[in-house]
Structure 1
Amino acid sequence: MTSNRVAAGTGIRGSASNKLNLPRGIFVDVNLDLYVADCGNHRVQLFYPGEPNGITVAGNDASNSTIKLQYPTGIILDAEKYLFILDYGTHQIVILDLNGFRCLVGRYGFGTQSNQLANPFSFSFDRSGNMFVTDSGNHRIQKFQYLQESCDNSSTVKSVYSLALTSNSPTYFPDCSRSNSYYEAIQMNVTITSTYNLIISSEMKNTHGYIYTNGFNLFDWLENRLIYNEDYHNQSQFYLTAILEANTKYVFVMTTSSPNVTGNALIQVWGRGFIGFNRILNTSSVVQTIYASELTTKSPVYFRRCSTASCYYEAIQVNVIRSGLYTFFSISDMDRYWYIYKEYFNPTNPDENRLKLDDKSCLQKGFRFTIALEHSITYILVMTAAFRNMIGAFSIFVSGPDIVDLKSINYLPVTRILHSSAVQSNYSSELTTNSQTYSADCQKPNYYYQTIRMHVVESGYYAVSSYGSMRTFGDIYKDDFDPMNPVENILSLDYESCPGGDFKIGVYLHTGTTYILVMTTFFPNVTGNFFIMTSGPNNITLDPYSKYFVLFVNHQQKSETSH
């Protein structure tokens, strides 16, 4: 048998009425009408005999479709002209009957329950009307008795709400936007738990719709978000499908991605029960503060946590007039990191007082985070380059209930001795089973350790780093170290534990003072090699030190003097 004509499509992928995109399932009825699951175009096409152009009966571009399709793969028309659609992407079987489109089975995804379908691929009916479905994502074939097992087997109820965004509507800054957008928040009162299909039509372009559970926080628009969609192709229409429960608080938010856009919109909802819409009054607007600056070769430098390379940074003091939630995001061509601190920022110990880390969820080279700030507290926002010698301009956008005071503050640069043979202060040794032991945590014995004398020739702030084959730990003591009392004479240190078992200590050391560095391990009975480097305003001489050896030498000297 050979093909002598093309029944549908042109052989070229496309979305026009005479073209198809990755067609999957087909069905031919008694009138030789051809139904095609046009998978790649997210629609079902009907081709009449001899007609090259198809009619969209469901999905994208359908004039009467009230349900959104995502990669339909199967299509069946029964004797009563009811249309069954197997939708791979939304994990459901959709039926078009006298009540319109509705979910028949599925939408609950992966699982073992009978109402759960995950990526169904094909289906078929037997003579008794039983439906068999390849539930591929759940690794099984399911059998359903028609109208006895259904996700929505009652009459469909339609609910309608109309709204208008005007120049008097409140504004906020959605999704890392530098410009404010008008929005309207509407409370949804659900009477019956069911799957509901929403169609949002508007005369505006670039519209967005969000459904929130238990309230909408315009200062943190990601909080409580249940589902969202948008008008991707500026078609003035988009769909939302969600399982909504009775006696649960839902808020629908309508907005745009472009600033100062106004116009009318219509929300239509189909489901088992009526949904009441009530506009939320007395909604407020979000205020945005903008800060622009740049990192240059004159900017101060510091060392990020566990980093061996210095990077330019800028510290920005943040003061809020009104307490509340504030969202920060940035725009720049640089790869960079951001941190926020409470009260003050210590560039020699960048972990101290830090409240929040960098979050690059906004843009490829941007960041976004939301944090509660109090008007009585000073905060420090630190922007630093990701790599050594990186410079460039950046902008910060802060959105919240009121304006924010942002001003640059100066810190002295943090310096480290470069690890070259001329200036390096280093020390290498090992802990063995012959090393001395003590109880480092005052609980477990047998921590091997070694004491090292530190001779300081210039007072200043120093960093001491360790590297080795084991996870090391270090403490610095003033004047002397007593292994029987390891808390005596210990200095208060800026301690930083780094990945891979290393550590870094920050401490201010004075000339003319005896310092003892005790090198040990995080766990008892561990041995291995270690390497110590120091950095600061000058070299530090590091020598092995033994208290018992010193006592012996002093005793010998006294004996010789007495003779």
Structure 2
Amino acid sequence: MFTRNGRSGTFYFEAIEVTPKRTGNYTFNSYSAIDSYGYLYTNRFDPLNTTSNLLTHADDNENETNDQFTLVCTLQADTSYTLIFTTFDAGVTGLFSVVGVGPGRISLRRKNITTVPVTASNYSGALDSNSPTFSRDGTSGIWYYEAIQAIPKRTGNYTFKSYSAIDSYGYLFANPFDPLNITSNLLVSSDDDETGIGDQFSMSYPLEAGANYNLIFTTFDRSLTGRFFIVVSGPARVILRSMNTTLKQSSTTTSTTVATPG
């Protein structure tokens, strides 16, 4: 299992070693009753960093007329590649087949992938009447929020999940976060979990080691306060620090110019 880019939840996958006998363009088509998604990598595939070594990926066929993927790529003779068959939606299982077509025979063999243990990082906080506010959807009213600096120790895919008695909403931004323009630097946002049933957010995104990101915990409805807990899971620890004090100070800073007689 792994977390697919930009999608919350857990996805089952099968890794297939692909070795063409002749250099040229090859096409891989999936056939299944389930909505499929395909990735093709140069030799090594890292389930905790699905952008590393990625050659191409696809959701639908070349005409975008059905939910089976078509991958087209130029491959080198006697070179090993890794084809990943997975699903568009989280938690789906089922039978499938993959057909590869090209100028020469292709060796296709199931490949065992050793997954690295997932590391969890935790953060607890609370929204109250002293928390900073913004307009979440551009309408009237205020939403309290907490801004949390997130710095991953290793490049890879990370999942952010909230736990609270209040209906939560989450945003993840590349640094910096501007409460007056919440579309600027926005990477991903989430209202509910991967099932679409729970009222706690779950969002996943590939992060770069040592980079600064801004995680925003807020609420679905206006003017709500309460305690919350966030768990970040991924290939390494994530430093999580509150930025609310900094934001409060910057929002109350004023500049005064005093005119003096000339």
| Match in the other structure for 1:463 | 254
Alignment of 1:316 with 2:135, yes or no, is no
Q: Would the aligned equivalents of 2:132 and 2:244 in 1 still touch at CA under 8 Å? A: no
Offset of residue 273 of structure 1: 0.9
> Residues 64-102 of structure 1: CA distance to partner in whole angstroms, max 9, x if unpaired?
xxxxxxxxxxxxxxxxxxxxxxxxxxxxxxxxxxxxxxx
Amino acid at match of 1:462: T
Superposed CA offset, 1:229-261 (max 9, x none):
369xxxxx8352414232466321012333273
Other-structure match for 1:133: none
Secondary structure (helix, strand or coil) at the match of 1:544 reads coil
Change (3 A) 1:316 1:245: same
Instruction: Give a deviation string over 1:307-361, Cα, whole Å, max 9, x none.
Output: xx997331436576x64434355789877653466xxx9x9x99xxxxx942138
Matched, 1:242 2:72: yes
Bigger-Rg structure (1/2): 1
Give the equivalent residue in structure 2 for 1:327: 158
Of the three residues 26, 29, 40, the one matched with 1:211 is 40
Q: The residue matched to 1:181 in structure 2 has which SS?
A: coil
Match of 2:196 in 1: none
Q: In the alignment, is the contact (CA less than 8 A) between 2:29 and 2:100 conserved in 1?
A: yes
CA contact (8 A) 2:157 2:204 kept: no
SS at match of 2:12: strand
2:206 matched to 1:373? no
- Give the structure, 1 or 2, with the largest relative contact order (CA under 8 Å, sep 6 or more): 2
1:252/1:310 Cα in 2 relative to 1: closer, same or farther (>3 Å)? same
| Cα 1:230/1:312, change in 2 over 3 Å | same
Give distance in 2, aligned partners of 1:395 and 1:228: 35
Which position in structure 2 is the counterpart of 1:229?
59
| 8 Å CA contact retained: 2:128, 2:225 | no
The alignment partner of 1:411 has SS state of: helix
Aligned amino acid, residue 251 of structure 1: T
* Native 8 Å contact 2:6 2:206 kept in 1: no
Q: Structure 1 residue aligned with 2:9, among 165, 179, 185?
A: 179
- Distance change (3 Å), C-alpha of 1:178 and 1:366: closer
1:398-409 equivalences in 2 (<5 Å): 398-402=232-236, 404=238
Q: Map residues 380-395 of structure 1 onto 2, 5 A cutoff.
A: 381-383=214-216, 391=224
Stretches of structure 1 that go unaligned for 5 or more consecutive residues are 1-170, 232-236, 351-355, 418-460, 465-533, 535-541, 550-563
CA distance, structure 1, for counterparts of residue 213 and residue 56 of structure 2: 33
Give me the TM-score of the superposition, normalised by structure 2. 0.58
CA contact 1:311–1:384 (8 Å) conserved in 2: no
1:255 and 1:278, CA in 2 relative to 1: closer, same or farther beyond 3 A? same
- Look up the match of 1:493: none
Say if 2:116 and 2:235, in contact at 8 Å, map to a contact too.
yes
2:72 counterpart letter in structure 1: A
Which of 545, 548, 552 aligns to 2:260? It is 545
Distance 1:303 1:543, change over 3 A: farther
Aligned ranges for residues 102-113 of structure 1 at < 5 Å?
A: none
Kindly report which structure 2 residues correspond to 1:246-325, keeping only aligned pairs within 5 A, or say none.
Answer: 246-247=76-77, 250-256=81-87, 257-259=89-91, 261=93, 264-285=95-116, 287=118, 289=120, 296-298=127-129, 300-301=131-132, 312-316=144-148, 318=150, 323-325=154-156
Identity of aligned residues (%): 21
Tell me the residue number matched to 1:338. Answer: 172
Q: Does the 8 Å contact 2:172/2:189 carry over to 1?
A: no
The counterpart of 1:414, out of the listed 234, 248, 252, is 248
Verify: 1:359 aligned to 2:187, yes or no.
Answer: yes
> Could you tell me the TM-score, scaled by structure 1's length?
0.32
Three-state SS of the structure 2 residue aligned to 1:414 is helix
- Cα distance in 1 for residues equivalent to 2:121 and 2:92: 19
Q: Classify the secondary structure of the residue corresponding to 1:172.
A: coil
Matched residue count: 231
Relative to structure 1, the CA distance from residue 175 to residue 395 in structure 2 (aligned partners, 3 Å threshold; closer, same or farther) is: farther
Query: Residues of 2 paired with 1:372 and 1:385: CA distance?
Result: 24
Q: Which residue does the alignment assign to 2:20?
A: 190
Residues 115-161 of structure 1: per-residue CA shift (max 9 Å, x gap): xxxxxxxxxxxxxxxxxxxxxxxxxxxxxxxxxxxxxxxxxxxxxxx
